[in-house]
Amino acid sequence: MDQINNRALEKYRDVPFQDVQQEAERIFAAFIAQVESMSEEELSDPGRFEWSDGESRGERAAAMLREHGYQARALDGGYPGWKEQGFPVEEVSLK
Q: Where are the domains of the chain?
A: 1-37, 46-95
How far CA 67 is from CA of 3, 31, 60, 64, 71, in Å, comes to 22, 30, 11, 5, 9
Question: From CA 53, how far away is CA 46, in angstroms rounded?
Answer: 8
Query: Does the reported pTM lie above 0.85?
Result: no
pLDDT tens-digit profile, the chain (95 residues):
577 778 888 888 899 999 999 998 998 888 888 888 888 888 777 666 665 555 667 777 888 889 888 998 888 777 778 888 888 888 777 66
